[in-house]
């Protein structure tokens, strides 16, 4: 992973927090989706919305990368109506076993997050498939 500046890290943190809030997740759900250590409490999330980047934790950093991919894919899928992203995240989908993406992410952890990203971003799903154009 390439190193990012503290300012970029804070921007990523705020972007992810805004999306998680827009999707209507509770504090406990946000902690679960981010794969935060169990010592973290939901009352501490306010600092990430304001001026503190996410902790320097490999698992959290990987989850943030996946979530940023989901956020960007929703933005490009619904460029004229950003509220549709939250609606999409709360609607059941056949390829997610008739669960909404939020439910899949909460129930399945990283596997669910990757499944949602794959559903939204066919290029990411193509990379995961191991397909090779030789």
101-123 pLDDT, tens digit per residue, is 999 999 999 999 999 999 998 77
49 membership: H or E segment, kind and range? helix 45-50
Q: What's the confidence (pLDDT) of residue 40? A: 77
Long-range contacts of 54-61 (CB under 8 A, 24+ apart): 54/9, 54/12, 54/13, 54/16, 59/35, 60/34, 60/35, 60/36, 61/1
Classify residue 100: in a domain, yes or no. Answer: yes
Give 100's pLDDT tier (boundaries 50, 70, 90).
very high
Please report whether residue 12 resides in a domain: yes
Q: Say which residue, 34 or 41, is predicted with more confidence.
A: 34
pLDDT recorded at residue 29 = 95
What pLDDT digit, counting tens, does each position of 51-94 carry?
999 988 899 999 999 999 999 999 999 999 989 999 999 999 99
Structural domain span for residue 54:
6-129
Return the closest-CA partner of residue 25 out of 121, 115, 89. Answer: 89
**Does a structural domain hold residue 125?**
yes
Total of domains in the chain: 1
Record the pTM: 0.88
* 93, β-bridge pairs: 99
Give the per-residue pLDDT at 132.
Answer: 57
Identify whether 28 is part of a domain: yes
In a domain, 1, yes or no: no
> Cβ atoms within 10 A of the Cβ of 99, count?
19
Predicted confidence band of residue 128 (pLDDT cuts 50, 70, 90): low
Could you tell me which of 22, 21, 13 has the C-alpha nearest to residue 55? Answer: 13
Q: Which of 95, 78, 96, 98 is nearest to 86 (CA)?
A: 78
């Amino acid at each position: 992973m390439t190193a990012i500046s503290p300012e970029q890290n804070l921007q990523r943190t705020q972007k992810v927090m805004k999306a998680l809030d827009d999707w209507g997740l509770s504090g406990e759900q946000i902690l679960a989706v981010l794969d935060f250590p169990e010592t973290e409490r939901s009352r501490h999330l306010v600092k990430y919305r304001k001026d503190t980047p996410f902790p320097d934790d490999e698992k959290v950093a990987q989850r943030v990368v996946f979530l940023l991919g989901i956020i960007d894919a929703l933005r490009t899928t619904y460029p004229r109506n950003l509220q549709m992203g939250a609606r999409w995240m709360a609607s059941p989908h056949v390829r997610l076993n008739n669960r909404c993406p939020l439910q899949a992410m909460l129930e399945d952890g990283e596997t669910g997050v990757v499944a949602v990203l794959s559903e939204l971003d066919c290029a990411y799903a193509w990379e995961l498939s191991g397909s090779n154009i030789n």
